[in-house]
Amino acid sequence: MKIFVASIFVLSLIGATAANAQVGVGVHVGGVGVGIGVPLAGPNYYDGYYDGYYGPFNDGYWGNDGAFYYSDGANNWQRDGGNHFQRGAGKGFSHVHGSGGHRAH
**pTM of the predicted protein model:** 0.55
Given CA atoms 77, 57, 38, 66 in this order, what sign does their dihedral have?
Answer: positive
**Residuewise pLDDT in 10s, the chain (105 residues):** 667 555 565 555 555 444 444 343 333 344 444 444 434 444 567 889 999 999 999 998 888 888 999 988 787 889 999 999 999 999 999 999 988 665 665
78: number of Cβ within 10 Å: 13
26 and 37 Cβ atoms separated by less than 8 Å: yes
Length of the chain: 105
Q: How far is CA 53 from the centre of its chain?
A: 18
